[in-house]
Structure 1
């Protein structure tokens, strides 16, 4: 799938339903299906809107090896937020000298791993969001490449839990950055500053997002004036995709212009870190209907996927599109779709029109590529699902389905 033939958003109706039914029959449900060609096309569309920027994929959105390898093949570098992501990026083929590690209250083992890695790969960049982090790096004898994470005081995105730009947990308070930069530059190779305002930014949040970008660019200029040239100013990611069927996708050409206007003149290179934009609509979940229950309040549709499969609706009150793959042309009826977990939070939608599901039907839950499998868990002792990757006509299992033995194998008497 080339950038030229890749639409800006992939809706559930755009997937090959016959293929999805066959994959579910072959591999069982619940099942994650990721389209690697779509992953690459999304990355290339984003990078094409910022031809002068250094675009890195934010691994935390989806760290599957198949996804990381596909992005590396497409020319992406990788930004990591944890020790495990560094290791997984390297195992997928990333050159450690190209990696950027954004440390957030990093555990000791994470800093040990990163500094040991940098000893052999001095191109690695470590981003710190607290003066404590820089002190801990120095205690480990590290004096290499660092960036300072700035808290711009402006948060954006689809939910308050992802509006990191105004959350005190993330980054050094804006007014303290010049003094911290002067100190850090004495102890390390200060190569950049970094910020991330939030996640899931669409049209209504774009102006606020650009205000945050402009504020961070101003800080970049201030630091350069006071401390010296920077290699880059990293504005993070945050650009979203429409989850609801009536939402329109971002026009990335327009977004590129808005971001460039917000940045203004800057000597340092612009860095951007898309995550959700790259993978969200490239993956879906297939789930079987096992129960249909008529009640005075609603029609309850029970499926074999649960909040252990996809926790975002329970965690963020997130909307994910749902489609009846088996019978998309049936008359739509309001239904509530939920899984087998013993909690009222295990619900994917409430009173939403869906082509009338019947027991045995196959449903698809869309836009599951970003923070879908990443947040999958074993609640109720449920084994995590398999994941199948497709790329054109090719298909392969990239994560096998867990068994109950997998769930319990770490336990000891």
Structure 2
């Protein structure tokens, strides 16, 4: 196993072994996701070395593959989950309740029902809420366990406006109302343990000023909460109000989210993690709580590639169109965020004859003009039957895959200790249509979501 000091701070697409990837396509088919678990572990160790004084949670939404969760948990990461399904995956990967945070954003009733049931068996589970409504809904279900409040500090950053969460009204309670909300929650019997916020996803080096300002606001809020504790004895009001103020602090942790970006373009430099860590600690200042961070992309992005077969090469008016069997249903980031992913022709790299480099548009099979991975990019002249590798596909790749056009989702392979193994089988059209057949056959599964309980009447909803 490679020591973190000997591993590169970023793994470029050119560093992957072309022959090994070609062999994987030959064995497992295309499209195919590949995730290198050793690289995932290296990325964790690098970040843990930069933040030795912080608790590190992995943001499961980046890549929820069970093998990835198990590897990161073995390295020492806790698991931050955005849904009940992710919590179930985290527990199945071996995490205990004390290592799992459920961060609810307008949580569906089914999720809350399942979470409260899971809490009874895992009382150290932490639930992070972003609204007073969610606190009410938890109380209605009998939950009075560990509660963290997500706050909105009014500042965001990230690689695209759609992922800049820190200032978006959807996320969190306005920071100026946080102390009041915490006091009320404590007064109602909740075990208030922390505050949380997340500036956005894919924060780059040129956005570190925004990140620093965001962290500073979280530090200010943490000290405000502590001040509320110290001032509780001199406050007027009932004894219950004073006890509520005391119950708010000291907080166990201040969670400043993740968002650490990775370089997708070949000429981009990686983040200087030591500088980021120093700036984070300096901006946070002295607090009577533990710093918590929850990266996702940083651990898995450059540990994954997507392999795809070329099925069509067409000379168009202004470009050469290279048709592949992966599309926006397989990797939606280019279509959704106009995201750049490096592309490499593995077959050309293995070809003894050097190919001319020409501008090419790599497009998928989906009936949408936005279904392209790149436009007019300089690549070795592509031929039908070639295999392309799309880099930095380990984060938000398979997790955002879908079945549009009734296309089954791809298979996933993991690399570990020099071996490859199938981690997730390829879907079939039968998998896509199975729910319809079950409904037509009178199955009751349409009244439930997997193994999660049916919708509770607590939220005045009815199952239809």
Q: In structure 2, what is the equivalent of residue 39 of structure 1?
A: 40
Alignment counterpart, residue 229 of structure 1, candidates 250, 271, 276: 250
Instruction: Give, in angstroms, the shift of residue 38 of structure 1.
Output: 0.5
In structure 2, what is the Cα distance between the partners aligned to 1:406 and 1:200?
33
1:390-405 aligned within 5 A: 390-405=415-430
Q: In structure 2, what is the equivalent of residue 140 of structure 1?
A: 141
Q: In structure 1, what is the equivalent of residue 24 of structure 2?
A: 23
Question: Which piece of structure 1 moves more, 1-10 or 340-349?
Answer: 1-10
Q: Indicate whether 1:388 and 2:413 are aligned.
A: yes
Q: In structure 2, what is the equivalent of residue 410 of structure 1?
A: 435
1:31-70 aligned within 5 A: 31-70=32-71
Q: Which runs of 5+ in 1 are unaligned?
A: none
In structure 2, what is the Cα distance between the partners aligned to 1:352 and 1:40?
32
Alignment counterpart, residue 310 of structure 1, candidates 331, 339, 342: 331
Instruction: Give, in angstroms, the shift of residue 122 of structure 1.
Output: 1.6
Instruction: Give, in angstroms, the shift of residue 330 of structure 1.
Output: 2.9
Instruction: Give, in angstroms, the shift of residue 96 of structure 1.
Output: 2.0
Q: In structure 1, what is the equivalent of residue 184 of structure 2?
A: 183
**What RMSD, in angstroms, separates the aligned Cα atoms of the two structures?**
1.0
In structure 2, what is the Cα distance between the partners aligned to 1:248 and 1:268?
33
1:254 counterpart SS class: helix
Q: Deviations over 1:288-324 (max 9, x none)?
A: 1111111221110000101111011111111111011
| Bigger radius of gyration | 2
In structure 2, what is the Cα distance between the partners aligned to 1:104 and 1:124?
17
1:260-409 aligned within 5 A: 260-328=281-349, 330-409=355-434
Q: TM-score, length-normalised on structure 1?
A: 0.98
Instruction: Give, in angstroms, the shift of residue 97 of structure 1.
Output: 2.7
Q: In structure 2, what is the equivalent of residue 81 of structure 1?
A: 82
1:160-171 aligned within 5 A: 160-171=161-172
Instruction: Give, in angstroms, the shift of residue 53 of structure 1.
Output: 0.3
In structure 1, what is the Cα distance between the partners aligned to 2:149 and 2:66?
29
In structure 1, what is the Cα distance between the partners aligned to 2:339 and 2:93?
30
Q: Deviations over 1:2-45 (max 9, x none)?
A: 21221111111000111001001111110000000001111111
Q: Which runs of 5+ in 2 are unaligned?
A: 229-244, 441-464
Q: In structure 1, what is the equivalent of residue 199 of structure 2?
A: 197
Instruction: Give, in angstroms, the shift of residue 113 of structure 1.
Output: 1.4
Instruction: Give, in angstroms, the shift of residue 393 of structure 1.
Output: 1.1
Q: Deviations over 1:310-355 (max 9, x none)?
A: 0111111111110111113533211100011111011000011112
In structure 1, what is the Cα distance between the partners aligned to 2:55 and 2:303?
22
Question: Which piece of structure 1 moves more, 396-405 or 115-124?
Answer: 115-124
